[in-house]
């Protein structure tokens, strides 16, 4: 059996003390009770996946239709895109290879008018399915893209355009749900109480995964294996205290208490590097409230050894590190025996051994500079292990939020920028924001050319 492990050997470096972990244990009984109540009330569906049976049924029903297309254009932003991109790059990397002729996933997760227009010029409409993702059904960036794509489909396909769309949104309310009801278009629900950054293992991430042929059932199996012990009736203080997600949460809380305000997510699995971007949103949007939280910083090995690691090793001692590795990665080609004498130690070695050596060297360097570091080692880079990693980090994030005494499931400050943008666009109902905009834009400018 493949083993996935957390290595805590270097976790309590620097200003940290393992006694702090024991101090946080005093809250374990309280939070175990709270966890089980939240699970019972279906407030944490990303842990126990109560929607799995219906999700599997609907995915299997839609799969023949999905497979009839060569291209998928996904309209979504933030949690509607980051997890999907991580899955594509981890388990369908051939899309980014030279001369690829198979299926392609195009993720439009920004307001980039030039790129978007070029995509619509080049994509073959008759072989493209458009998937629109917004839990609320009112995300302005996604809805604006939908309005443009809707006209593009109508122009090329006429009345058949609705056969080329799927809307993934709230089951009961919102503009996209109204569109589903009006058009009779295909749709799948975002389950209740499932925020975007926690939604990758729902229709949000698994519809594109199914389209690409990724083993989405294994992703779900992996996730459920992590949360299984927490979902049982006999879940107790001792169950939670022995769970790896609790240990990550208490370690992260201790980091913040000791002014380690940056949490590196250093990935030494090249195809999994985009999980760093997914984690950054998960951690930042969940914990950055009430003046609390820490800044997640994705880093890719070995690339960032040659860019930002100078700061990690020689800069302020304000960083902890989650360090993602796998010992069983492709070894690649063998170096020839006629290498120059200076490089003779590479003769007969596999190219992939360089990655493992760099991963060890970087980890040792961080440890020697007393950076608190936890190594997350997955035995294999399969969908099952990815599902386990996703569930581990999601659960740890929630527990860290509770330890910080904030709500890790909302994002109140994200809404401010949205309201101001809507006011700028002339939407009604934003009188206060319009006043703020008038004041902001009316300031005396202080501008310098460069």
Catalytic sites, residue numbers: 285, 306, 418
SS3 210: helix
Nearest CA to 22 among 241, 230, 239? 241
Nearest to 90 by CA among 187, 215, 195: 215
Sign of the alpha-carbon torsion through 207, 210, 212, 217: positive
User: For residue 421, which phi and psi values (nearest 5 degrees)?
Assistant: -65, -40
Asked if residues 422 and 433 have their Cβ atoms less than 8 Å apart, the reply is yes
Strands, sheet with 71-75, edge to edge from the N-terminal-most edge strand: 104-108, 71-75, 128-133, 165-170, 186-190
User: 131 has which bridge partners?
Assistant: 74, 166
Measured between its terminal Cα atoms, the distance across the chain in Å is: 60
As a residue count, the chain comes to 450
CA distances from 291 to 16, 160, 320, 415 (A): 21, 51, 19, 17
**Helix 383-403 and helix 275-287: axis angle, to 10°?**
20
| Burial call 139-163: b when 16+ CB within 10 Å, e when fewer | bebbbebbeebbebbeebeeeebbe
Task: Kindly provide the residue ranges of all beta strands, DSSP E only, lying in 346-444, ordered along the sequence.
Answer: 373-377
Contact assessment for residue 371 and residue 16, using Cβ atoms and an 8 Å cutoff = no
Q: Which phi and psi (to 5°) does residue 190 adopt? A: -90, 120
Contact status, residue 80 vs residue 113, Cβ threshold 8 Å: no
Across 335-433, the runs of DSSP E, i.e. the strands, are 373-377
Q: Where do the DSSP E strands lie in 206-332? A: 262-267, 295-300, 319-325
Structure tokens at 171: 């089951």
- 20 — phi, psi (to 5°)? -65, -35
Query: Is 250 in contact with 31 (CB distance < 8 Å)?
Result: no
CB atoms within 10 A of CB 420: 16
Which of 311, 324, 306 is closest to 373 using CA atoms? 324
């Amino acid at each position: 059996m493949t083993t996935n492990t957390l290595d805590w050997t270097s976790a309590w470096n620097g200003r940290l003390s393992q006694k702090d972990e024991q101090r946080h244990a005093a809250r374990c009984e309280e939070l175990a009770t709270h966890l089980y109540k939240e699970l019972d009330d279906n407030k944490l569906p990303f842990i126990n996946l109560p929607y799995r049976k219906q999700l599997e049924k609907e995915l299997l029903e839609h799969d023949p239709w999905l497979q009839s297309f060569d291209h998928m254009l996904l309209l979504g932003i933030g949690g509607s895109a980051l997890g999907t991109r991580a899955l594509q790059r981890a388990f369908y990397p051939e899309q980014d290879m030279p001369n690829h002729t198979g299926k392609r996933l195009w993720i439009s997760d920004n307001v980039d008018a030039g790129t978007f227009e070029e995509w619509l010029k080049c994509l073959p409409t008759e072989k493209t399915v458009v998937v629109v993702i917004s839990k609320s059904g009112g995300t302005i960036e996604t809805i604006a893209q939908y309005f443009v794509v809707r006209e593009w489909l109508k122009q090329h396909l006429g009345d058949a355009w609705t056969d080329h769309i799927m809307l993934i949104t709230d089951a009961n309310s919102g503009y996209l749900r109204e569109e589903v009801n009006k058009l009779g278009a295909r749709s799948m629900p975002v389950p209740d109480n499932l925020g975007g950054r926690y939604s990758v293992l729902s229709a949000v991430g698994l519809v594109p995964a199914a389209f690409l042929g990724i083993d989405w059932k294994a992703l779900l199996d992996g996730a459920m294996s992590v949360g299984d012990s927490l979902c049982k009736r006999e879940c107790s203080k001792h169950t939670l205290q022995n769970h790896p997600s609790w240990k990550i949460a208490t370690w992260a809380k201790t980091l913040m208490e000791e002014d380690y305000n940056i949490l590196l997510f250093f990935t030494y699995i090249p195809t999994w590097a985009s999980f760093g971007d997914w984690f950054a949103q998960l951690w930042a949007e969940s914990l950055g409230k009430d003046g609390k939280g820490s800044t997640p910083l994705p880093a890719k090995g070995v690339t960032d050894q040659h860019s930002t690691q100078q700061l990690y090793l020689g800069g302020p001692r304000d960083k902890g590190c989650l360090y993602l590795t796998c010992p069983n990665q492709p070894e690649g080609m063998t170096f020839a025996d006629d290498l120059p004498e200076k490089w003779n130690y590479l003769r007969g070695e596999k190219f992939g051994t360089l990655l493992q050596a760099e991963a060890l060297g970087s980890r040792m360097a961080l440890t020697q500079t007393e950076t608190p570091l936890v190594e997350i080692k997955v035995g294999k880079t399969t969908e099952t292990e990815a599902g386990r990693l996703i569930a581990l980090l999601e659960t740890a994030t929630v527990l860290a939020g509770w330890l910080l005494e904030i709500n890790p499931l909302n994002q109140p400050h994200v809404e401010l920028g949205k309201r101001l943008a809507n006011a700028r666009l002339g939407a009604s109902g934003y009188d206060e924001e319009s006043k703020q905009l008038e004041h902001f834009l009316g300031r005396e400018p202080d501008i310098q050319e460069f």
